Structure 1
Amino acid sequence: MQKITPCLWFDTEGEEAAEYYVSVFENSRILEVSRYGPGMHRPEGLALTVEFELNGQRFTALNGGPEFTFDEAVSFQVSCADQAEVDHYWSRLTADGGKESQCGWLKDRWGVSWQIIPEQLASYIGGPDPDGAQRAMQAMLGMRKLDIDAIREAYEGT
């Protein structure tokens, strides 16, 4: 059993967000939905909590009200095997009102922050050639969606 489960606080959009995330990530599913009942402080029938998995990682979406919102202090890193995977997650998570940020960061339409990171990134920005690593870092700092070929070329000085 997973010991730590991220809980994402939404106003009323938790079920919609969970269904969307499940459509973006392979091997994902909705596990359980509990709903507000009569006399509770939110509309009857609205999802109270949605338990879901994204590629085996459990999450909870909670419709708790507008008191709290998301910010960049917490983000989810998505490790990508190649540029095609980077492109897939970037386009899906910025769709319908998502916002691009810098260095592989974005916010989806609900304001949840994601880092879409190619697995090869660390080998360039932390590579054994300090000059190449600096060039790779500078290249990355100028990007929104990360382009692993451009970062590699910067590292190699080509």
Structure 2
Amino acid sequence: MPVHNGGPQFPPTPAISPYVECDTQPETDTLRATLTHGGAAGPGGSLVDRFGVTWQILPVILRELLRSGDPSAAGRVLTALHAMTRIDIPALTDAHARARPRTESVNHEGPSPPPRSGPQTPRSHRQRADACVPRGPLRCSRR
């Protein structure tokens, strides 16, 4: 990944961040530890290296979890991911597998009214989780 140093008048910004997908928890942890040496860890797999460049370190399985076809499961995965500073792959898979709690309400006043007609509610970001998965990753390589 070639990068041009524009000088001090153009400092790094988190608006652009390279990302790396890793296959395993040890790869994720090793890469994160290496890049944060002299930098700082951030939420949801992000970190800032010693040069001030923001990176995203993501497990490969995250893409599969977000594209599973279950919007509520993808939402649980994203909620778990955003609460993490160190990516925990087993916790992400547990969040995906967790059953959604049932919120059945009992209406003692008779049947429910018919659904409203009119404009549909826009789809949330959680329902479009597959659109949030970046394309073209760098890959961790084993040496």
Scaled by the length of structure 2, the TM-score of the pair is 0.64
Give 1:127's aligned residue.
68
Mean CA deviation greater in 148-157 or 135-144? 135-144
Secondary structure, counterpart of 1:78 in structure 2: strand
Give the letter for the 1:110 counterpart: F
After TM superposition, give the deviation of residue 126 of structure 1 in Å. 2.6
From the CA coordinates, give the structure whose radius of gyration is larger.
Answer: 2
Per-residue CA deviations over 1:33-82 (Å, capped at 9, x if unaligned) read xxxxxxxxxxxxxxxxxxxxxxxxxxxxxxx5322210111111111011
SS in 2 for 1:65: coil
For the pair 1:147 / 2:85, whether they are aligned, the reply is no
Q: Compare the two structures and name the one with the higher strand fraction.
A: 1
Alignment CA distance shift 1:155-1:141 (3 Å): same
- Corresponding residue for 1:7? 3
Find runs of 4+ consecutive structure 1 residues off by over 2 angstroms.
Answer: none
Displacement of 1:128 in angstroms is 1.8
Picking from 51, 60, 70, the partner of 1:110 is: 51
1:68 equivalent to 2:10? Answer: yes
Higher relative contact order (CA 8 A, sep 6+): 2
Instruction: Point out where structure 1 has 5 or more consecutive residues left out of the alignment.
Output: 10-63
Q: Give distance in 1, aligned partners of 2:31 and 2:59.
A: 11
* Residues 104-152 of structure 1: per-residue CA shift (max 9 Å, x gap): 1111011011110100001112322222211111111111221111000
Query: What secondary structure sits across from 2:56 in the alignment?
Result: strand
Q: Which of 76, 82, 85 is the equivalent residue of 2:24? A: 82
d(CA) in 2 for partners of 1:130, 1:7: 37
The DSSP-based 3-state class of the residue aligned with 2:47 is strand
- Identity percentage over the alignment? 36
Query: Partner amino acid for 1:66?
Result: P
CA root-mean-square deviation: 1.6
